[in-house]
Amino acid sequence: MNFDLLVFGTGSATPVINRHPSAFLLSIENESFLIDCGEGTQYRLIEQKVKSSRIRHIFISHLHGDHYFGLIGLLSSWSLNQRKENLTIFAPRGLDEILTAQFKHSETRLNYKINFVETDTENAYHILETNFVTVETIPLHHRIPCCGFLFRSKTSKRKIVAEKLPENFSIPYLKMLKEGLDIHDELSGITYKNEDYTVAGGVSKSFAYCSDTVYNELKISQLQNVNAIYHEATFIDSELKRAEQTNHSTARQAAMIAQKSKAQQLIIGHYSSRYKTLNNHLSEAQEVFENTLLAEEGKSYKI
């Protein structure tokens, strides 16, 4: 199963050349999910040749500008380009008021419908289920209401080994094989054993997006054994007090979350503008959790 994370932005609130604000595209099979939408996200989408029609859901973690200031431009441009697909936006309370005011005073009339879903940032609960994925919130602790998102792909049905089946095999029988059933054809007297004509489908994969948050172990039980975690690492440990004052995490703290969650992989980002290089972020995190990667803009990560 295709399960990829494309990074658009790795910076934090203060602008830095070549380091854009938070925005990520998670692709699962033929579905694409935009996670946060910092300033300039529409340009990142164009650069990476992303088909906007595949984005039917946008997830905004919180209402600090570096996580949603790119949204109004993106939504407006989609309308100018005659988008027709409806869109659902998941975000904390207030974003719908902000968008409504912007559209009102710019006299913007969208060609498509937006369904706004207000997130409860205090509790973990399911907010979406599609053909391929389920999504639940991850309560985070920041200066304003904030939550992350946990994506889990569904286990796919068994796959048919077509070359082993006779020609013109019944479609209802194919569906039964995909469900894991054996088939007995009374007309021919032949029994088709499922294990002889199918192979196991894809296993479920999981990805946790942990946006701005102070170090907190409450989410560890929810993140147990996930395939990959993206976790903010705004500072390194030498700025621990600053991290605590601003309700952010250090690279070491992000690694501790991954280690205690028994995750397979950690991707860190949301770097403070004070850091010109990120070697210390990586080495600090890898001391605790070896399989740590730096989020790099324009790079895709297989989950």
Output the CA torsion sign for 162, 164, 168, 171: negative
For residue 273, which amino acid is it?
S
Residues 210, 231: contact at Cβ < 8 Å?
A: yes
What confidence score (pLDDT) does residue 207 get? 98
Q: What pLDDT is attached to residue 181?
A: 80
| CB proximity list for 71: less than 8 A, separation 6 or greater | 37, 41, 58, 60, 89, 95, 99
Active site residue 66: yes
Q: Note the pLDDT of residue 1.
A: 73
Position 177 scores a pLDDT of 62
The tokens for 297 are 């803009």
Residue showing tokens 């879903």: 117
Question: Which pLDDT score, from 0 to 100, does residue 161 have?
Answer: 77
pLDDT in tens, the chain (303 residues): 789 999 999 999 998 998 999 999 999 988 999 999 999 999 999 999 999 889 999 999 999 999 999 999 999 999 999 999 999 999 999 999 999 999 999 999 999 999 999 999 999 999 999 988 999 999 999 999 999 999 999 876 667 777 777 777 777 777 776 677 887 777 777 787 887 767 766 688 999 999 999 999 999 999 999 999 999 999 999 999 999 999 999 999 999 999 999 999 999 999 999 999 999 999 999 999 999 999 999 999 999
What phi and psi values does residue 185 have, to the nearest 5 degrees? Answer: -90, 110
Q: Half-sphere exposure of 265 toward its Cβ, with a 13 Å CA cutoff?
A: 15
Residue of 54, 104, 116, 112 lying closest to 81 (CA atoms):
112
Domain residue ranges in the chain: 3-156+202-302, 159-199
Tokens of 138: 């991850």
Secondary structure (H, E, C), the chain: CCEEEEEEECECCCCECCECCCEEEEEECCEEEEEEECCCHHHHHHHCCCCHHHEEEEECCCCCHHHCCCHHHHHHHHHHCCCCCCEEEEECCCHHHHHHHHHHHCCCCCCCCEEEEECCCCCCCEEEECCCEEEEEEECCCCCCCEEEEEEECCCCCEECHHHCCCCCCHHHHHHHHCCCCEEECCCCEEECHHHHEECCCCCCEEEEECCCCCCHHHCCCCCCCCEEEEECCECHHHHHHHHHHCCCEHHHHHHHHHHHCCCEEEEECECCCCCCCHHHHHHHHHHCCCEEECCCCCEEEC
Distance from C-alpha of 34 to C-alpha of 87, rounded to nearest angstrom: 11
The pLDDT score that the predictor gives to residue 116 is: 97
Report the predicted TM-score, pTM, of the whole model to 2 decimal places: 0.88
pLDDT value for 157: 65
Determine the pLDDT at residue 301. 98
- In angstroms, the CA 55 to CA 51 distance is 8
Tell me which CATH code domain 3-156+202-302 carries.
3.60.15.10
Beta strand pairing status for 55-59 and 31-37? Answer: parallel
Using CA atoms, how far apart are residues 136 and 89, in angstroms rounded to an integer?
A: 14
Residue where the block lists tokens 């602790």: 141
Pick the catalytic residue from 66, 182, 185, 196: 66
